[in-house]
Structure 1
């Protein structure tokens, strides 16, 4: 945890000291005054204090600047959960920042979606379509087209389900908070690859429909969860 993260936690703890939490009026006022002073001295604003974060492991090997399917799917999940995302290759993880409970949902969705794609890809590699590709290069292309189709289907379905809770203002706040926490981060645009085998892409699209998505507990307006039925 960085010094800024520890300070942010201290400010949040001070703000939590209220009469309702068991503090006396004097204690609560003193805590509020100290929190306000720390925020002013160190350039925090309330939106940043209210932001939470979560991480998901990322073991992707990046030998080129080409965007991977994992990057695309992670970016889609961050977008629909009103989060900002940062790939931290030096730490082997992806950081999600946003208003609670967005980051925790994003990290959970990412783990489950990745598992679903990995399992579906293994199954695709046992199909006659894949076996008919004799060269390593053509098999890799077919596998990539399959995964791209599945990631696209998952992204579309997540967009449909998260539409009631999407908030662009909250996402912009998350991006600003991430920029403050990681000032040296570099924006890398996502790049699409050209499809080679439409049949593989269609198979991936169908596989994306087999991952069960459902609303979380608490009604249709609540944060959403994902369930893998495979």
Structure 2
């Protein structure tokens, strides 16, 4: 615990040194001396600039409204989606309306909202195809089969998100000697920001779905959902 506090003090010192620039009124000699000190501190404490800057990144929360208040098939993969994006998530109900609320660093929350829309659109379009391919079903039989199909899709998407998260973390560990420390620092930043709020979370109850033919077809359809990250603005030129 003492060592952790010392590292936080060092990171704060590094951030202060980084502010010593000619633009902020320092001489070139002072700015150069500050830059050299930053390099020595990073090396001595085995820190990275990503880890140092992490504490300065503010956390945000954004909502995704539901069309009603009833739970939906996409609920099955929301916890996995939040973990994949390093966010916290909860359901908020007010005045007869419901919404998911994602909490985390701004870029992570943006990714969660993007993937939520991708998954929801995929479930909707695949469900329309399911209905077309099962015209022999009517009424309650069709509605029940479609729910199981959608649940299968969401279950498979959740599994893929969990696997992708493990792969990304393993890759970060391989490429970066401080990868595990960076992930831990990010988790701690989000956790500390969340504790500063007055929000307290409780776990919801899961649904029991019969794994019949419709469920298995939906499970297979879950492999067709595009979970690739969106292009960053600086990457868009590569497509031109």
TM band (smaller chain):
0.5 to 0.7
Q: Which moved more, 1:106-115 or 1:160-169?
A: 160-169
Q: Normalized against structure 2, the TM-score is what?
A: 0.60
- Residue 215 of structure 2 aligns with which residue? 201
After TM superposition, give the deviation of residue 140 of structure 1 in Å.
2.1
Question: Relative to 1, partners in 2 of residues 1:62 and 1:100: Cα closer, same or farther, differing over 3 Å?
Answer: closer
Indicate yes or no: 2:88 matched with 1:87: no
Alignment check: 8 A CA contact 1:83 1:96 kept: yes
Indicate yes or no: 2:158 matched with 1:158: no
- Residue 150 of structure 2 aligns with which residue? 147
Q: Normalized against structure 1, the TM-score is what?
A: 0.62
- Residue 66 of structure 2 aligns with which residue? 59
Gaps of 5+ in 2: 1-15, 27-52, 170-179, 233-240
Question: Relative to 1, partners in 2 of residues 1:158 and 1:22: Cα closer, same or farther, differing over 3 Å?
Answer: same
Q: Secondary structure at the match of 1:61?
A: coil
Gaps of 5+ in 1: 1-14, 26-45, 219-230
Q: Deviations over 1:111-134 (max 9, x none)?
A: 111111111111111112xx3333
After TM superposition, give the deviation of residue 203 of structure 1 in Å.
1.1
After TM superposition, give the deviation of residue 105 of structure 1 in Å.
1.1
After TM superposition, give the deviation of residue 171 of structure 1 in Å.
4.0
- Residue from 181, 190, 195 that aligns with 1:174: 190
CA RMSD for the aligned pairs? 3.5
Structure showing the higher helix proportion among its residues: 2
Alignment check: 8 A CA contact 1:56 1:111 kept: no
Q: Deviations over 1:67-123 (max 9, x none)?
A: 532333222110111111132333754332224532111111111111111111111
- Residue 72 of structure 1 aligns with which residue? 76
| Bigger Cα Rg | 2
